[in-house]
């Protein structure tokens, strides 16, 4: 039997996330302190703060730190892991766990990602929503119907048959949610995120992050990571 770890993405965060585990393992508390110094963030305090943990500027580094810490502890206890996958933000924890980046470097990259996405979200406030039980074609058509040049919404995450996440301006996403319900969606719900992630509103942030990430050494991995865009395995420096 093979074992894999799937790292969660943004939206799965919650107050005190991971602390019931981390605070009872001395080596994890020590490592958390070193990560806090790299990030220049009060991680323990922010994990207990509902406002901070739901703000993308802090959500991103907080989630990646918790995922890294718990992963490393499981490995130290002898868990043999054959591969990794990460949903959206979780792929960065996967890049670390698989061995593509050292801990300090992935933390610096994710910290910059959070800053850039916060700036993009401030410039173009947005939202995301999950649409269930409608076909991809129908959801795509809804997005096209309600979008305008100033208020865009697009299909962002094709999670599974009958579950598609949309992303865009707050106005356009809400219009799309309302229309999806009219067209028979079993559920159409806003997600707990603070921006229009995976949408054209993040294009400039993505370009800037790419340039920043090129400053850090990328290693050949020691474990396979399945890319969340293609589901294909990555082990060499192929990206």
**Known catalytic residue at 198:** yes
The answer to whether the beta carbons of residues 10 and 59 sit under 8 Å apart is yes
Catalytic residue among 121, 167, 198, 199: 198
Contacts of 239 (CB under 8 A, 6+ apart): 227
Q: What is the dihedral of CA 25, 50, 155, 210, to 10 degrees?
A: -60
**Residue 60's closest CA among 3, 120, 130, 132?**
120
Pairing of strands 224-226, 83-86: parallel
Alpha helices in the chain (DSSP H): 19-22, 26-39, 43-47, 50-53, 56-76, 90-98, 103-123, 136-146, 170-182, 203-213
CA 94, 100, 104, 108 dihedral sign is negative
Catalytic residue among 88, 121, 167, 169: 88
Q: Which residues pair with 155 in a beta bridge?
A: 166
**Known catalytic residue at 219:** no
Paired tokens of 184:
């028979």
Positions annotated as catalytic residues are: 88, 198
């Amino acid at each position: 039997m093979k074992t894999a770890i799937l790292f969660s993405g943004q939206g799965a965060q919650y107050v005190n996330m991971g602390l019931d585990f981390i605070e009872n393992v001395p080596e994890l508390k020590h490592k958390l302190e070193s990560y806090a110094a790299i990030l220049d963030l009060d991680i323990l305090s922010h994990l207990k703060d509902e406002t901070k943990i739901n703000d993308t500027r802090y959500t991103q580094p907080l989630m990646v730190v918790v995922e890294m810490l718990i992963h490393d502890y499981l490995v130290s206890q002898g868990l043999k892991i054959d591969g990794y996958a990460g949903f959206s933000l979780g792929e960065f924890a996967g890049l670390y766990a698989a061995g593509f980046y050292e801990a300090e470097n992935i933390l610096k990259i994710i910290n910059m990602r959070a800053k850039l996405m916060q700036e993009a979200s401030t410039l173009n406030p947005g939202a995301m929503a999950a649409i269930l039980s409608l076909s991809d074609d129908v959801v795509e058509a809804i997005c096209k119907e309600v979008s305008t040049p100033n208020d865009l919404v697009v299909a962002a995450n094709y999670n599974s048959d009958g579950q598609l996440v949309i992303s865009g301006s707050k106005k356009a996403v809400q219009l799309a949610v309302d229309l999806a319900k009219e067209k028979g969606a079993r559920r159409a719900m806003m997600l707990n995120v603070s921006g229009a992630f995976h949408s054209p509103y993040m294009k400039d942030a993505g370009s800037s992050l790419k340039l920043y990430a090129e400053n850090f050494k990328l290693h050949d991995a020691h474990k396979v990571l399945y890319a969340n865009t293609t589901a294909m395995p990555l082990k060499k420096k192929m990206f």
